[in-house]
C-alpha cells in the first residue's frame, strides 16, 4: 500500500503550518498509519478531499486535521478571508464582535479569529464567556460593529464545529458576499504568513444585560399581568448547550416563574452525553425533560438547541399525554399571538409575516386574514430575516424571530419568552394551546405537516437524487395528481435560486391541496422531503384522520424517491 505523493506532500505541508500541537500530532500519526492501514488511508484521503466549503452558513464540519475539517488552520484561513473582505469594503478600524459556544475548541477558534482581525486593522471585541448565538447577533448592531462571528455548530453532533458570519446589519451573510469571502479564503495558502495582532477587547457585560433587559421589556410591556406570568410553570432543557443562564435571567426579569431546569442537560458539555444528536427535533432528545415535566406536573416543557437560537416546546394534551409541538405549530401559535396581543393592547400590528418555503402555508392565511403582508422565502433564516419590514418570521426547523427590532435572526430565548406570555394569557382565559390550534384549523383549514429525510454519505448521492427528480418527475404522489412542479434551481418569482423542488398536488373531495418539497439539508448530510396536506371541514377529528392518512401515503412515496428504500 502506498500513499499518493501529492497527498503525502499536502499532509506534510499541513503539519508544517498547523499551530495546534494536537491536530499536528494526529495528522503525523495518521500519515504513518496510512502507509499500511487502508482505513487510515481512506481517512487521510477524506481529510484532504477538498476544503470545507465556505457558504452562507459559513463553515461547518467535523473537527480534525486537514482542509476538509474544522481546525485552527481552516479557521485562520476563514478569518483572514473575512478580514480582507471587510477591509476591502472600507471597514478598517471598525469593530468585529466574536462569540463562541461551549463546543470543543470554540474558544480557541474565537481567539484565533480575534488576532487575525486585529492584525488586519480591525477592532475585535470578544465575549469572555460562552453566549447564545442570538446574543452575538444582538451585540453586532448594539455595538455598531461592521461584522460578527459566532463559533458554533448549533445542533450538530459533538465531533463538529462551525463558523457563522454576520455583517453589520445583524443578519447572516448571503450570496454574493459568501462567494467573495470564499475567494479571498482560497488565497491564504500558508497561515504562518497571516499578520496577527493582539487578542482584542472583551465585550462589556452591559451587552448581555441590555439584551436581557430589552427582551424582558418586550414581555413586561405586553398584555399579561405579572400574576398571570407567575402562574405558568415550566421545565427547561438547554440540551447541554449555552442557553440556561441567559434564559433564566430573561425569565426572572420578565416576571415568569423560574423554569425547573433538567439538571442532566442544563450546563454546557461539548460531549452531549445524554443525547445521540443534540437537536430538540430528534427522537428521544426531549425524553429526560418530558419525564421531569410529568413528575412536576408543569404546564409546558421548553427547550433550546445547544446555541439557543432554536426553540422547541411540548405540552400535555386532553388525555394527559405529553406531545412535542411541531415547528409549524409553534410558528402558527406565535404568529397568532403576535396579532392577538396587539389587539388586546388596542393597537394593530403592522409589517410582514414571513416563513421559508418548507414551512407551513398556514402562516400566510393567518397574516392575510389580519391584513398583514406575507412573504415566502427560500430556506435559511438569513432569507427569512430579509423580508421587508419583518414583524414576525419563522422556519419549521424551530427558528423564530419575534423581536426583529433587537435580534433580526432566529432567537430561541425571546421565542420561549413570547411563548410563555401566550400561555400566561391563555391560562388566564381558561384555554389551552390545543384549543387555539383547533380554532386556527377551523378558520384556515387543518394544515398537517410531516418530514421524511435520508442520511447520505456523499454529495454525489445528493446530486443524483435531485437530478432524478428533475429528469423523471412523478405524476402522482400519495394517490394525488401532481398539478405543477417548481424547480427553484431555475428560479421562482423573486426568490433566489436554490437546490429545491416543489411538487404541487391537486386535491380531491376531502383534501383541499397538498405539496411535497425536496431539498438537501444545508447543515447535515441529509436529503429532506417536506410534506403538507390542507384539509377543510367542521369536524376536526375527521379532518385530522384524513390528513394523517394522506401524510402516511406521501411519506411512503417519498422514501424511495429520496433513495431511502420503501
Count, in order, helices (H) and strands (E) of the chain. Answer: 19, 21
Distance (Å, rounded) from C-alpha 141 to C-alpha 97? 10
Among 323, 295, 552, 343, which residue's Cα sits nearest to residue 448? 552
Distance (Å, rounded) from C-alpha 150 to C-alpha 542? 47
CA-to-CA separations, 135 to 149, 242, 278, 334, 472, in angstroms, rounded: 12, 11, 20, 21, 46
Distance (Å, rounded) from C-alpha 182 to C-alpha 384? 23
**Three-class SS state of 401:** strand
Any idea what the Cα angle at residue 31 is, between residues 25 and 36, rounded to 5°? 135
SS (H, E, C) 11-47: HHHHHHHCCCHHHHHHHHHHHHHCCCCHHHHHHHHHH
Clarify whether 175 is annotated catalytic.
no
Distance (Å, rounded) from C-alpha 100 to C-alpha 111? 10
Helical (H) or strand (E) element with 550: helix 540-561
Gap between the terminal Cα atoms of the chain: 40
The DSSP bridge partners found for residue 337 are none
Active-site position among 118, 154, 316, 332: 154
Question: Residue 528: CB partners within 8 Å, gap ≥ 6?
Answer: 358, 451, 452, 453, 518, 519, 520, 521
Chain centroid to CA 245: how far?
Answer: 20
Among 309, 174, 162, 290, which residue's Cα sits nearest to residue 241? 309
278 near 123, Cβ under 8 Å? no
Distance (Å, rounded) from C-alpha 560 to C-alpha 426? 43
Among 44, 58, 52, 49, which residue's Cα sits nearest to residue 15? 44
Could you list the active site residues? 154
Amino acid at each position: 500500500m502506498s500513499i499518493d505523493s501529492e497527498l503525502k506532500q499536502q499532509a506534510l505541508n499541513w503539519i508544517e503550518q498547523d499551530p495546534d500541537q494536537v491536530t499536528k500530532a494526529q495528522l503525523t500519526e495518521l500519515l504513518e498509519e496510512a502507509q499500511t492501514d487502508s482505513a487510515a488511508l481512506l481517512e487521510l484521503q477524506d481529510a484532504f478531499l477538498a476544503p470545507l466549503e465556505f457558504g452562507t452558513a459559513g463553515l461547518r464540519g467535523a473537527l480534525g486535521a486537514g482542509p476538509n475539517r474544522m481546525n485552527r488552520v481552516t479557521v485562520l484561513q476563514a478569518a483572514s478571508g473575512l478580514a480582507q473582505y471587510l477591509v476591502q469594503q472600507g471597514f478598517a478600524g471598525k469593530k468585529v464582535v466574536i462569540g463562541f459556544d461551549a463546543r470543543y475548541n470554540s474558544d480557541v477558534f474565537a481567539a484565533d479569529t480575534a488576532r487575525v482581525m486585529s492584525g488586519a486593522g480591525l477592532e475585535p471585541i470578544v465575549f469572555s464567556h460562552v453566549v447564545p448565538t442570538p446574543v452575538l447577533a444582538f451585540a453586532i448592531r448594539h455595538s455598531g460593529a461592521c461584522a460578527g462571528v459566532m463559533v458554533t455548530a448549533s445542533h450538530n453532533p459533538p465531533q463538529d464545529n462551525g463558523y457563522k458570519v454576520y455583517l453589520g446589519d445583524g443578519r447572516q451573510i448571503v450570496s454574493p458576499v459568501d462567494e467573495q469571502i470564499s475567494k479571498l479564503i482560497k488565497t491564504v495558502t500558508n497561515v504562518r504568513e497571516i499578520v496577527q495582532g493582539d487578542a482584542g477587547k472583551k465585550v462589556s457585560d452591559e451587552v448581555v444585560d441590555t439584551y436581557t433587559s430589552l427582551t424582558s421589556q418586550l414581555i413586561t410591556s405586553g398584555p399579561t399581568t405579572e400574576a398571570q406570568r407567575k402562574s405558568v410553570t415550566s421545565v427547561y432543557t438547554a440540551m447541554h448547550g449555552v442557553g440556561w443562564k441567559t434564559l433564566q435571567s430573561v425569565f426572572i426579569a420578565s416576571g415568569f416563574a423560574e423554569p425547573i431546569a433538567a439538571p442532566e442537560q442544563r450546563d454546557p458539555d461539548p460531549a452531549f452525553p445524554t443525547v445521540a444528536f443534540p437537536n430538540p427535533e430528534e427522537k428521544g432528545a426531549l425524553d429526560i425533560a418530558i419525564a421531569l415535566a410529568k413528575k412536576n406536573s408543569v404546564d409546558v416543557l421548553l427547550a433550546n438547541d445547544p446555541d439557543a437560537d432554536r426553540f422547541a416546546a411540548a405540552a400535555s394534551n386532553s388525555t394527559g399525554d405529553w406531545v412535542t409541538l411541531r415547528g409549524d405549530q409553534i410558528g402558527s401559535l406565535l404568529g397568532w399571538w403576535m396579532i392577538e396581543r396587539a389587539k388586546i393592547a388596542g393597537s394593530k400590528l403592522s409589517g410582514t409575516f414571513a416563513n421559508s418555503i418548507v414551512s407551513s402555508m398556514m402562516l400566510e392565511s393567518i397574516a392575510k386574514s389580519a391584513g398583514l403582508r406575507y412573504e415566502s422565502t427560500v430556506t435559511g433564516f438569513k432569507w427569512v430575516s430579509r423580508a421587508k419590514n419583518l414583524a414576525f418570521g419563522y422556519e419549521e426547523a424551530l427558528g423564530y424571530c419575534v423581536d426583529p427590532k433587537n435580534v433580526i435572526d432566529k432567537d430561541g430565548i425571546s421565542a420561549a419568552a413570547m411563548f410563555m406570555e401566550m400561555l400566561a394569557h391563555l391560562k388566564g382565559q381558561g384555554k389551552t394551546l390545543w384549543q387555539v390550534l383547533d380554532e386556527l384549523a377551523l378558520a384556515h383549514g387543518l394544515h398537517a405537516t410531516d418530514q421524511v429525510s435520508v442520511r447520505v454519505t456523499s454529495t454525489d448521492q445528493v446530486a443524483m437524487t435531485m437530478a432524478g427528480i428533475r429528469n423523471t418527475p412523478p405524476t402522482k404522489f400519495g394517490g394525488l395528481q401532481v398539478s405543477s412542479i417548481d424547480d427553484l434551481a431555475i428560479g421562482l418569482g423573486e426568490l433566489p435560486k436554490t437546490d429545491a423542488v416543489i411538487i404541487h398536488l391537486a386535491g380531491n373531495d376531502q383534501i383541499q391541496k397538498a405539496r411535497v418539497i425536496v431539498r438537501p439539508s444545508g447543515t447535515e448530510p441529509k436529503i429532506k422531503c417536506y410534506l403538507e396536506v390542507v384539509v377543510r371541514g367542521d369536524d376536526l377529528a375527521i379532518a385530522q384522520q384524513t390528513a394523517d392518512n394522506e401524510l402516511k401515503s406521501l411519506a411512503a412515496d417519498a422514501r424511495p424517491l429520496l433513495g431511502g428504500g420503501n
